[in-house]
């Protein structure tokens, strides 16, 4: 399998690095403070391939903290708020689109 | 990389030879399959033990004529996820009755020790020191085995049959 | 059901303590994710979009009531109060923490349940007919053999790192409820002319990116040779199956590339070496396994008890009985299918409360036994006919008496993009909308047997290729698009569906299915002609015309 660091990184807009926390699997986002947050709004934004690569490399290095880090597209609204860039990321942030049985 | 043999961490007497390394005069050598097959007569004539490193995509039948003459066969796990060498190991032990050292090389990790032992490996080039040190403890992790292999461990089905007979069940 | 003995229990406990140690090493950083991933998968632990997912095996779909209660307990204590029954007789929990998993496994081990090899490149949970042992006309109970294979393939020292996953299914009835033709190995239990038990062996079936219907590799393998024959197939596959490309690594590709004749010669050669080894099974071994299956002590009961006669006046009861109650080999009893497809709900989900209540009903009415089928429904396999009215009332209270088994709203669907990290599109909301469109029971009954299968990606966990109507979600330019096939089937007449035309958007799927159904109602020769038979007779064209005429 190709390591995420070897993948070609083409960034078309603002992006973040996201993963799942190792001990409980919860969705997390890489912050500028070299940590993880469960809030997308805390995520570090990258806007070019070099920055994205650097942020991803730093995330990959924290294998104990979170697993499967990758770069995900986001949108930044006029107020500077970060929003998911696609349906998958929207579902990861907000949860399932259906009512849960319980 | 620590070598575990007979359940203990031991010194490796074998030196691994590349395809083009000059042949040392004495000492034990492990030779890649390609070179071994090409130079078998010369290699086997010299003093010192000879073992062969057999890749997992090369037919084991080709090695069979030499099994009585080699001191070690090293099979390869390029990744621990690639399980071809388990089949090769069982064939060597169970079909061709190979009794020499059978060494696991490559990505050899603690969590595969039991499978490897059952397939017939008795020697392990372990990737991590901590795993090598945990060998004996890990090897004892399981006491129940469902499949018959050449390692002689009694299977669950067999044990049940013994219990049935000793209890006189079956009526 | 099968009762574990001390030997089985010891193994499962040893497995739990091994995994506890592995999780500990993972959380301390001693194991990297790369090293740990295969270990967790081999214990049924995936990483999905929101959390870890835990898949527990229900071998050959047989559960005891205390086991179902243990599953409810896991749902409640470690998850969010529900579980999801899958298409391969497993149950999945969607919200579990890695740090809780060893405890969850230990709790399940107490009742003889495990999650070994419910994922990973090894032998998966062996599946069988959910009516095994009770279906009229069955040759013999295939679960004895399923259990034999389960044991033989559990922690197999040679085949735990195969090129890819490997699935076996067994049936012993003419009507195949186990979908054996779309498995890596499919086994059809038969008798030879001497009356001895053996198997027709199929190989190389499967769905996913490259679907194939399995081919017969041997017409009769004697029961005593079953393990050695399977071992020979696995050995050929382990050595020659492709490892360079994950999409070409399943045995179906090897069989396809070598051709069935060459593949079967390789297997035959290997088999001749090992068939007379300790893998040969004598009758005593089979008898020992059979002796640990507990069969109910049926009473001699009337075929048509008064209770049933009286309840027939209630049209709701009758609708349910006609739909969900099937003939049992013992005429005083019935097999009751419990639909996990209520209108508007995710297919296959059950809450902890429902599981507990069902366990109680199984104790009261079905000798403590529950079955799980690949259609994502449950069944109570031994219900006395006199108890049917009382059982129906109890099920109805639990929301488990929807009379839609095998009808258009009995939809098979994968978790899709709502849960799954592989998915490209959502499946569950599509299923929910379709059940609402066809919620009217008279309408669904008028349409008759019709299986809709939905997958949220090409991996085909919703078996869309073999749905009478198959729906495959893909992603196109950031949008969910659905490709629709018709004419697939998963039973003894297994066939792959054909695409009716270009993909349609999320909001259009239910409309398109309605069009297809309307076309069928107009085209069928008589009410008894099933959808699948009309498609077979007329092909895709008239349906395509109808769907795309106005689009």
Query: pLDDT digits over C310-323, tens only?
Result: 999 999 999 999 99
**Do C129 and C142 meet the contact criterion of CB atoms below 8 Å apart?**
yes
| CATH classification of the domain holding B10 | 3.20.20.70
Torsion angle of alpha carbons C383, C386, C391, C396, nearest 10°? 130
Query: What would the pLDDT profile of A40-56 be if each residue is shown by its tens digit?
Result: 999 999 999 999 999 99
Query: What would the pLDDT profile of B72-98 be if each residue is shown by its tens digit?
Result: 999 999 999 999 999 999 999 999 999
**Do C1 and C359 meet the contact criterion of CB atoms below 8 Å apart?**
no
My answer on whether B117 and B50 are in the same domain is yes
C37/B contact by beta carbon, under 8 A: no
Q: Which residues are CB-contacts of B92 (< 8 A; sequence separation ≥ 6)?
A: B60, B63, B67, B73, B98, B102, B120
Residue A1, pLDDT score: 45
Which of these, C286, C169, C160, C281, lies nearest to C226 by C-alpha position? C281
CB contact under 8 A, B83 and C279: no
Query: What would the pLDDT profile of C485-524 be if each residue is shown by its tens digit?
Result: 999 999 999 999 999 999 999 999 999 999 999 999 999 9
Residue A49 in any domain: the answer is: yes
Residue A70 in any domain: the answer is: yes
- A99 burial class (0-12, 13-18, 19+ CB within 10 angstroms)? exposed
Q: Which residues are CB-contacts of C5 (< 8 A; sequence separation ≥ 6)?
A: B160, C292
| CB < 8 Å from A in window 48-87 of C | 48-52, 80-82
Residue A85 in any domain: the answer is: no
Residue reference for tokens 């038969």 = C190
CA distance C463 to chain B (A): 27
3-state secondary structure of C543: helix
d(CA C500, CA C538): 13
- pLDDT (average), residues C225-244: 98
Q: DSSP secondary-structure letter at C100?
A: G
- Its domain, for residue B164, covers 142-171
CB contact under 8 A, C157 and B114: yes
My answer on whether B58 and B109 are in the same domain is yes
My answer on whether B128 and B147 are in the same domain is no
B48-57, C94-103, C280-289, C486-495: range with lowest mean pLDDT: C280-289
Query: DSSP of C307-322, one letter per residue?
Result: HHHHHTT-HHHHHHHH
Query: What would the pLDDT profile of C157-166 be if each residue is shown by its tens digit?
Result: 999 999 999 9
Residue A8, pLDDT score: 67
pLDDT band at B171 (very low <50, low <70, confident <90, very high): very low
- The domain total for chain A is 1
pLDDT(B169) > 90: no
d(CA B31, CA B2): 19
d(CA A75, CA C21): 42
d(CA A83, CA C379): 45
Residue A61 in any domain: the answer is: yes
Domains of chain C: 6-55+78-109 (no CATH), 142-290 (3.30.413.10), 306-397 (3.90.480.20), 412-548 (3.30.413.10)
My answer on whether B70 and B93 are in the same domain is yes
pTM of structure: 0.96
The first and second tokens of residue C141, run together, are 């109970």
CB contact under 8 A, C7 and B160: yes
For chain A, the chains sharing at least 3 beta-carbon pairs closer than 8 angstroms are C
In C251-359, where do the E strands start and end? 325-327, 333-338, 349-351
Query: What would the pLDDT profile of C177-222 be if each residue is shown by its tens digit?
Result: 999 999 999 999 999 999 999 999 999 999 999 999 999 999 999 9
- Sign, CA torsion C540/C541/C545/C548: positive
Residue A5 in any domain: the answer is: no
Q: DSSP secondary-structure letter at C364?
A: H
Query: What would the pLDDT profile of B41-78 be if each residue is shown by its tens digit?
Result: 999 999 999 999 999 999 999 999 999 999 999 999 99
Residue A7, pLDDT score: 59
Residue A34 in any domain: the answer is: yes
Residues of chain C neighbouring B61 (CB-CB closer than 8 A) = none
C482/A contact by beta carbon, under 8 A: no
My answer on whether B82 and B94 are in the same domain is yes
Tell me what percent of the residues of chain C surpass a pLDDT of 90: 99
Neighbours of C137 (CB within 10 A): 10
* Closest CA in chain B for residue C287: B170
* Closest CA in chain C for residue A85: C478
Q: Using alpha carbons only, what angle is made at residue B34 by residues B28 and B36, rounded to the nearest 5 degrees?
A: 35
Q: What is the residue-averaged pLDDT of chain C? A: 97
Residue A36 in any domain: the answer is: yes
Query: What would the pLDDT profile of B98-111 be if each residue is shown by its tens digit?
Result: 999 999 999 999 99
My answer on whether B149 and B116 are in the same domain is no
Residue B170, pLDDT score: 46
Residue B167, pLDDT score: 75
Pairing label, strands B123-125, A66-76: unpaired
CB contact under 8 A, B115 and C157: yes
Query: What would the pLDDT profile of C107-129 be if each residue is shown by its tens digit?
Result: 999 999 999 999 999 999 999 99
- pLDDT (average), residues C539-551: 94
- The domain total for chain B is 2
A60-64, B156-160, C193-197, C429-433: range with lowest mean pLDDT: B156-160
For chain B, the chains sharing at least 3 beta-carbon pairs closer than 8 angstroms are C
C419/A contact by beta carbon, under 8 A: yes
Residue B168, pLDDT score: 64
Residue B115, pLDDT score: 98
C65/B contact by beta carbon, under 8 A: no
- Its domain, for residue A27, covers 18-79
Q: Using alpha carbons only, what angle is made at residue B113 by residues B108 and B116, rounded to the nearest 5 degrees?
A: 90
C418/A contact by beta carbon, under 8 A: yes
CB contact under 8 A, A25 and C346: no
Neighbours of A46 (CB within 10 A): 22
Residue A24 in any domain: the answer is: yes
């Amino acid at each position: 399998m190709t390591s995420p660091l070897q993948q070609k990184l083409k960034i078309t807009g603002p992006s973040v690095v996201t993963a799942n926390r190792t001990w409980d699997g919860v969705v997390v986002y890489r912050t500028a403070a070299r940590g993880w947050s469960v809030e997308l709004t805390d995520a570090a934004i990258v806007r070019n391939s070099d920055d994205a690569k650097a942020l991803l490399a730093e995330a990959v290095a924290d294998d104990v903290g979170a697993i499967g880090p990758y770069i995900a597209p986001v949108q930044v609204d006029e107020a500077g708020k970060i929003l998911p860039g696609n349906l998958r990321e929207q579902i990861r942030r907000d949860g399932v689109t259906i009512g849960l049985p319980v | 990389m620590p070598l575990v043999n007979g359940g203990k961490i031991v010194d490796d007497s074998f030196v691994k030879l590349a395809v083009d390394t000059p042949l040392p005069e004495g000492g034990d050598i492990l030779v890649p399959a390609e070179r071994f097959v090409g130079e078998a007569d010369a290699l086997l004539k010299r003093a010192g033990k000879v073992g062969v490193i057999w890749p997992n995509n090369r037919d084991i039948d080709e090695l069979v004529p030499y099994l009585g003459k080699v001191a070690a066969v090293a099979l390869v796990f390029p990744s621990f996820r690639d399980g071809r060498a388990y089949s090769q190991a069982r064939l060597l032990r169970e079909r061709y009755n190979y009794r020499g050292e059978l060494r696991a090389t490559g990505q050899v990790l603690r969590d595969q020790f039991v499978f490897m032992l059952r397939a017939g490996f008795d020697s392990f080039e372990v990737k991590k020191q901590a795993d090598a040190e945990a060998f004996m403890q890990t090897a004892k992790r399981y006491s129940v085995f469902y499949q018959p292999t050449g390692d002689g461990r009694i299977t669950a089905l067999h044990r049940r049959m013994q219990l049935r007979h000793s209890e006189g069940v079956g009526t | 059901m099968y009762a574990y003995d001390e030997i089985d229990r010891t193994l499962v406990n040893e497995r739990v303590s091994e995994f506890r140690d592995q999780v500990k090493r993972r959380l301390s950083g001693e194991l990297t994710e790369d090293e740990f991933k295969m270990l967790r998968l081999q214990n049924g632990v995936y990483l999905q979009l929101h959390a870890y997912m835990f898949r527990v095996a229900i071998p050959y779909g047989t559960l005891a009531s205390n086991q179902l209660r243990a599953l409810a307990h896991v749902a409640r204590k470690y998850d969010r109060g529900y579980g999801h029954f899958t298409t391969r007789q497993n149950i999945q929990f969607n919200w579990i923490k890695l740090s809780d998993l060893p405890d969850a496994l230990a709790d399940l081990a107490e009742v003889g349940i495990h999650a070994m090899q419910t994922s990973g490149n090894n032998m998966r949970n062996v599946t069988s007919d959910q009516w095994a042992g009770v279906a009229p006309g069955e040759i013999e109970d295939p679960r004895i053999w399923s259990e034999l294979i389960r044991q033989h393939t559990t922690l197999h020292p040679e085949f735990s790192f195969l090129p890819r996953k490997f699935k076996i299914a067994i049936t012993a009835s003419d009507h195949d409820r186990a979908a054996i033709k779309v498995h890596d190995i499919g086994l059809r239990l038969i008798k030879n002319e001497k009356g001895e038990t053996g198997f027709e062996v199929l190989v190389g079936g499967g769905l996913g990116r490259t679907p194939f219907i399995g081919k017969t590799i041997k017409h009769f393998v004697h029961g005593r040779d079953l393990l050695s024959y399977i071992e020979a197939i696995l050995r050929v596959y382990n050595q020659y199956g492709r490892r360079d490309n994950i999409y070409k690594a399943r045995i179906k590709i090897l069989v396809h590339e070598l051709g069935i004749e060459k593949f079967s010669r390789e297997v035959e050669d290997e088999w001749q070496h090992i068939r007379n080894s300790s893998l040969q099974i004598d009758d005593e071994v089979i008898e020992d396994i059979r002796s640990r299956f507990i069969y109910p002590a049926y009473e001699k009961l009337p075929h048509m008890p008064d209770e049933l006669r009286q309840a027939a006046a209630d049209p709701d009861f009758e609708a349910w009985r006609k739909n969900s109650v099937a003939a049992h080999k013992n005429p005083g009893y019935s097999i009751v299918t419990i639909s996990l497809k209520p209108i508007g709900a995710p297919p296959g989900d059950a809450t902890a409360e429902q599981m507990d209540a069902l366990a109680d009903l199984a104790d009261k009415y079905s000798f403590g036994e529950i079955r799980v089928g690949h259609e994502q429904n449950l069944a109570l396999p031994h219900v006395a006919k006199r108890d049917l009215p009382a059982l129906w009332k109890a099920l109805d209270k639990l929301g488990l008496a929807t009379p839609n088994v095998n009808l258009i709203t009995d939809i098979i669907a994968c978790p899709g993009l709502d849960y799954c990290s592989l998915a490209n599109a959502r499946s569950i909301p599509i299923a929910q909308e379709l059940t609402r469109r066809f919620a009217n029971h008279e309408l669904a009954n008028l349409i008759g047997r019709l299986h809709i299968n939905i997958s949220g990606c090409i991996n085909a966990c919703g078996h869309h290729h073999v749905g009478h109507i198959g729906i495959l979600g893909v992603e196109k330019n950031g949008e969910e698009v659905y490709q629709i096939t018709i004419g697939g089937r998963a039973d003894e007449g297994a066939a792959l569906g054909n695409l009716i035309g270009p993909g349609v958007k999320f909001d259009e799927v239910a409309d398109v299915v309605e069009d297809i159904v309307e076309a069928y109602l107009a085209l069928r020769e008589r009410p008894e002609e099933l959808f699948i038979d009309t498609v077979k007779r007329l092909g895709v064209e008239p349906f395509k015309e109808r769907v795309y005429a106005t689009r």
